[in-house]
Amino acid sequence: MLQMCNLESYPPVFRHPSASPPQLTTANSMEDSSSSSSVPIPVVDLQRLSQETLGEACKEWGVFRLVNHGIPASLLSKLEEHVRVLFSLSFESKQALVSNPLSYFWGTPVLTPSGDALRGALNLNWLEGINVPLSQLPLFQSEDSRLEDFRHFLEEYGRHLSRIATTLFEAMVKNLNLCPKQSESSLDKSSGFIRLYRYPPRSVVDEACGMMEHTDSSLLSIVHQDQVGGLEIFKDNKWLLVNPISDTLLVHIGDMMQAISDDQYRSVKHRVSVNKQEERVSICYFVFPAKGSVVRSSKYKPFTYTEFQQQVQNDTKTLGYKVGLQRFRLNAPV
């Protein structure tokens, strides 16, 4: 039976919110001038798609709000409700219930090939999550009818996100004047997956990070966040809060899009802060180039996404953080 949320639903290390977590270490320390007021990031209307507005948002911000996206509000509401119910199960139940092809993790947004979390002290983030590869979702079966309903909601949501990502990417390709040959395998709809995140509340928020600063490895990332907030982006040498707005999605430019665009578009650096009293839930979609397709750019050595992914995993294991595109930049130190 599915149960209401309780303390046992959190991973053991998160059940004492006043305890100090391990110290976080990141690749490049930045001056932390976090802002408490929300920043008005660009807005893109999917039904009246403006090439100029889209291009400016991708170049200057690397992130934008998407309105008129065509996803029914009822679907978003039902999906978020099911996410909360699933996360409210006991920690042990989630580990047993979330089975192949889904995977449960906690403490870090980075997954190893086996789907387990890297739980080293340098990687600990104040979150737990479920990884959902959309192409394999039909393989997930459960005797609980509510989990079956959840699977259907995820499949429907995934179809909407695939449509949105394809529409946006085609507009970006046109904006960048990329030749069809160069871009035809750059977005592989079968690579799309969803990550469900829950960030437990924490009374000592200055000593914890919901998710440490990073850029997404994806081509595009599309985020639905609840009304608690906590997402911050790094722009003009300071951290800016991006508050949630109902019925909008957040679209992030990822590393692959930055490389394909010859650095015209920005892979936005972002992080998540924790809330003192409320837990936060977000539903994130990521889409990538075809694994065997070669990313070609005047700024980077030719590479496949598979090579990029392997390098990120190696750096995360050995260094404790992601280096990312810098590893593939022309004339970059080895």
- Which residues are designated catalytic? 280
DSSP 203: S
Indicate the helix (H) or strand (E) that contains 305.
Answer: helix 305-319
Neighbours of 44 (CB within 10 A): 23
Residue whose C-alpha is closest to residue 308's, from 274, 273, 260: 260
Give the sheet arrangement for strand 231-235, strand by strand: 211-214, 270-272, 231-235, 238-241
Check: CB of residue 243 under 8 Å from CB of residue 250. no
Q: How far is the C-alpha of 210 from the C-alpha of 275, rounded, in Å?
A: 9
Q: How far is the C-alpha of 119 from the C-alpha of 114, rounded, in Å?
A: 14
Quote the radius of gyration of the chain (alpha carbons, Å). Answer: 19
Neighbours of 134 (CB within 10 A): 22
For tokens 């199960």, name the residue: 89
Q: How far is the C-alpha of 40 from the C-alpha of 230, rounded, in Å?
A: 15
Q: How far is the C-alpha of 18 from the C-alpha of 27, rounded, in Å?
A: 27
Residue 72, preceding bond cis, omega within 30 degrees? no
DSSP 293: P
Q: How far is the C-alpha of 132 from the C-alpha of 112, rounded, in Å?
A: 14
Residue whose C-alpha is closest to residue 34's, from 281, 205, 168, 179: 205
